[in-house]
Amino acid sequence: MKLDQIAGGYQTLALEGCDGVGKSTLAARLWTHYGFTVVHSPKTPDHLDLVSRYREILTQTGRLLFDRCFISELVYGPLHRGRSRINWSQAIDLAESVVERSGTFVHLTAPPAVIQQRLLSRDGEANRLEDISSLVEGYRKVFSTLADYTRVRTLEHDVPRTPTSE
């Protein structure tokens, strides 16, 4: 897939998916070619208010690209803590704010075995295949629901490589 097809005329992109699926690699390419300001969203400590944090980020001007965002809380939260720190109403409200900034969500996914291999190559370790499968399914469910409220584009990587600008 060409970078133009991903970036389009968007002012805001939210890249989401499991660890190891290629979000940061794609974000770097989009930053280089389109001048997005990249916001990498690492694990947020439990005591911080996620909704306020993302509302503040979404008030920034210019092209904005999230390398992971609040969507991951809907997937990782229930799997790692038994609950999400944001509810669906808050997630939909934030998603609508992304769209209001002329934005879209890009769901990056791959078969669990491909993700596991990418993690092993990148980090030298990876979660169990069953855990990765649960994350892939969690993202699928979240984006299936979110697609009723906002734009979602899904990019499937069957092999361990990222989109190119060709």
CATH number where 104 lies: 3.40.50.300
Q: Is 17 inside a domain boundary?
A: no
Angle (deg, nearest 10), helices 129-146 and 71-81: 140
Q: Is 14 inside a domain boundary?
A: no
Residue 6 has what pLDDT?
A: 85
pLDDT above 90 (res 8) = no
Residue 1 has what pLDDT?
A: 63
pLDDT above 70 (res 158) = no
Between CA 36 and CA 47 the distance in angstroms is: 29
Range of the domain at 96: 25-42+50-156
Q: Is 94 inside a domain boundary?
A: yes
Q: Which two tokens stand for residue 22?
A: 């290629």
Q: Is 5 inside a domain boundary?
A: no
Per-residue pLDDT tens digits for 15-60:
999 999 999 999 999 999 999 999 987 667 777 889 999 999 999 9
Angle CA(113)–CA(155)–CA(148) in degrees, nearest 5?
115
Helix (H, G, I), strand (E, B) or coil at 147: coil
Q: Is 165 inside a domain boundary?
A: no
Q: Is 7 inside a domain boundary?
A: no
Q: What 8-state DSSP symbol labels residue 158?
A: S
Per-residue pLDDT tens digits for 79-138:
888 999 999 999 999 999 999 999 999 999 999 999 999 999 999 999 999 999 999 999
Q: Is 72 inside a domain boundary?
A: yes
| Total of domains in the chain | 1
Between CA 95 and CA 6 the distance in angstroms is: 18
